[in-house]
């Protein structure tokens, strides 16, 4: 029975015009064929039909007043996808691309990513088609308060614990938490990614970027190699990219690039991470101003990108870390990477590689860390923040970092062992998908038809 084709056909009827969601489901189900064929319980319990449908989808209006006194309206989302392993956990994204398809694909991916961590958390995702860039603090505060005025009804430390994502940092989490506390009268861990002043965890900001680099290093260690001495390409200029770049330096590699929505910087001497932090975390400015300090670096505006991909992937390097957004790494990009000597790809973003590009990576036997495994460090550390909140403690940076390294190593080991179990050693897409699925599916079966 072709579960992938049948499921996608059903979803196209029940959830029309959601291409990113179909893509995520297809990628997972294609990998699950060996376990579905070998174990009848997953077929008999209709796990596939149940796991692709969210337990709850919330869509709501977010009205707010801008600095000119004009009323603006955005659309908010929270998809609570699966709670078999614990409270829903997944970030909130504020970006103009946010729609039902994007949120559902992210929430679906989150189920398996969270399962891979081994921690007691389910999968969810949310956000709004709001653009924080260019808005005043007052406008962002009013938007966040309006957003939380609806969302607060659906979240809580034992129900659903959102975190940050693209466009949602400590500032936005702070405004939302303040409104949550005001509306509920409770000071509790209903959000993660909080400021260190009031319940946040050390290393949360660094966790996703650090984690994807740790994962890459574990993949290489398994082959008797390491990142030391490697030249690396990184896309993005948010938390994931910045701290991937920082950790690459710490492990002896040289990151050569970064990018934002307006263009790409390539610096053959290595990206100045201190300058990058100043531009993006302090000034919130365009990467073109990197040239003010390093005029010899190369800046490529989006208008000059190749028509078949992204400028950041067209340079010589040993490893690539897509840390920006979905479908940023195309088939042509992967061909260019391979021709330029790249032998490793580790995903810091969610589903950054197209289906066609993944096929090329697998055919070329490139060492490949899929996002649900390689970028799970962020949600893992969010859960560690939940644990600290519940016990009213704060752990040291080193304590959190040690736990992150342990979790990332366990994710790699588990995915790698499952890939061998099903006769495709080194195929970490298959290994990660089956490992995550098996944990969630077994819990769903034990909890009955709910």
What pLDDT, on the 0 to 100 scale, is given for residue 77? 98
How do beta strands 88-94 and 160-164 pair? parallel
Element containing residue 283 per DSSP (H, E):
none
Contact (Cβ atoms closer than 8 angstroms) between residue 191 and residue 176:
yes
Residue 233 pairs in a beta bridge with 320
Contact (Cβ atoms closer than 8 angstroms) between residue 79 and residue 58:
yes
What pLDDT, on the 0 to 100 scale, is given for residue 407? 97
Query: pLDDT (tens digit, 0 to 9) for every residue of the chain, 450 residues total?
Result: 577 889 999 999 999 999 999 999 999 999 999 999 999 999 989 999 999 999 999 999 999 999 999 999 999 999 999 999 999 999 999 999 999 999 999 999 999 999 999 999 999 999 999 999 899 999 999 999 999 999 999 999 999 999 999 999 999 999 999 999 999 999 999 999 999 999 999 999 999 999 999 999 999 999 999 999 999 999 999 999 999 999 999 999 999 999 999 999 999 999 999 999 999 999 989 999 999 999 999 999 999 999 999 999 999 999 999 999 999 999 999 999 999 999 999 999 999 999 999 999 999 999 999 999 999 999 999 999 999 999 999 999 999 999 999 999 999 999 999 999 999 999 999 999 999 999 999 999 999 998
Distance CA 64, CA 435 (A): 43
Distance CA 70, CA 352 (A): 36
Contact (Cβ atoms closer than 8 angstroms) between residue 254 and residue 248:
yes
What pLDDT, on the 0 to 100 scale, is given for residue 1? 57
92: left (phi over 0), alpha (psi -120 to 50) or beta: beta
List the one residue out of 110, 124, 173 whose CA is nearest residue 147. Answer: 173
Distance CA 186, CA 18 (A): 37
3-state class (DSSP) for residue 263: strand
Residues of the chain with CATH 3.40.50.10860: 3-186
Contact (Cβ atoms closer than 8 angstroms) between residue 131 and residue 98:
no
Chosen CATH of 3-186 out of 3.90.420.10, 3.30.300.30, 3.40.50.10860, 3.30.428.10: 3.40.50.10860
List, edge to edge, every strand of the sheet that includes 254-255. 254-255, 231-234, 319-321, 344-346, 367-369
Distance CA 135, CA 387 (A): 34
Residues 6 or more apart in contact with residue 17 via CB below 8 angstroms: 101
Catalytic residue among 89, 104, 113, 125, which?
125
Structure tokens at 281: 């975390």
Strands (E), 170-262: 231-234, 254-255, 257-260
Q: Identify the sign of the CA torsion 333, 335, 341, 345.
A: positive
Distance CA 427, CA 418 (A): 9
What pLDDT, on the 0 to 100 scale, is given for residue 4? 86
Residues of the chain with CATH 3.40.50.720: 205-365
What pLDDT, on the 0 to 100 scale, is given for residue 195? 94
- Does domain 205-365 match CATH 3.40.50.720? yes
125 is catalytic: yes
């Amino acid at each position: 029975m072709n579960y992938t084709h049948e499921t996608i056909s059903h979803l196209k009827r029940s959830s029309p015009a959601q291409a990113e969601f179909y893509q995520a489901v297809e990628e997972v189900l294609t990998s699950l064929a060996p376990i579905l064929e070998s174990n009848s319980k997953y077929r008999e319990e209709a796990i596939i039909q149940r796991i692709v449908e969210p337990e709850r989808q919330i869509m709501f209006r977010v009205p707010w007043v801008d600095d000119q006194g004009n009323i603006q309206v955005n659309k908010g989302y929270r998809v609570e996808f699966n709670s078999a392993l614990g409270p829903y956990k997944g970030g909130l994204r504020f970006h103009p691309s946010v729609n039902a398809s994007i949120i559902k694909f992210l929430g679906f991916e989150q189920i398996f990513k969270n399962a891979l961590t081994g921690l007691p958390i389910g999968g969810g995702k949310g956000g709004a088609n709001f653009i924080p860039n260019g808005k005043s603090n007052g406008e962002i505060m009013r938007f966040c308060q309006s957003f939380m005025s609806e969302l607060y009804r659906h979240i809580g430390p034992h129900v659903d614990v959102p975190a940050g994502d693209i466009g949602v940092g400590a500032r936005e989490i702070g405004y939302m938490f303040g409104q949550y506390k005001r509306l509920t009268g409770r000071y509790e861990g209903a959000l993660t990614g909080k400021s260190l002043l009031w319940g946040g965890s050390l290393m949360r900001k660094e966790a996703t970027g650090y984690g994807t680099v740790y994962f890459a290093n574990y993949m290489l260690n398994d082959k008797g190699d390491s990142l030391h001495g490697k030249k690396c390409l990184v896309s993005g200029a948010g938390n994931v990219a910045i701290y991937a770049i920082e950790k690459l330096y710490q492990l002896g590699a040289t990151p050569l690039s970064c990018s934002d929505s307006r263009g790409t910087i390539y610096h053959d001497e290595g990206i100045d991470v201190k300058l990058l932090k100043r531009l993006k975390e302090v000034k919130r400015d365009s990467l073109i101003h990197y040239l003010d300090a390093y005029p010899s670096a190369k800046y490529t505006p989006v208008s000059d990108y190749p028509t078949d991909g992204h400028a950041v992937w067209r340079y010589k390097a040993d490893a690539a870390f897509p840390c920006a957004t979905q479908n940023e790494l195309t088939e042509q990009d992967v061909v260019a990477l391979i021709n330029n000597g790249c032998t490793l790809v580790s995903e810091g973003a969610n589903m950054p590689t197209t289906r066609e590009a993944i096929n090329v990576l697998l055919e070329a036997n490139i060492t490949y860390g899929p996002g649900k495994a390689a970028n799970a460090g962020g949600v893992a550390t969010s859960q560690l923040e939940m644990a600290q909140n519940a016990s009213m403690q704060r752990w040291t940076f080193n304590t959190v970092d040690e736990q992150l390294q342990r979790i990332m190593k366990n994710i790699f080991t588990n995915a790698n062992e499952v890939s061998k179990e099903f006769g495709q050693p080194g195929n970490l897409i298959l290994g990660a998908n089956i490992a995550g699925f098996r944990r969630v599916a077994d819990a769903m079966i034990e909890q009955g038809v709910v």
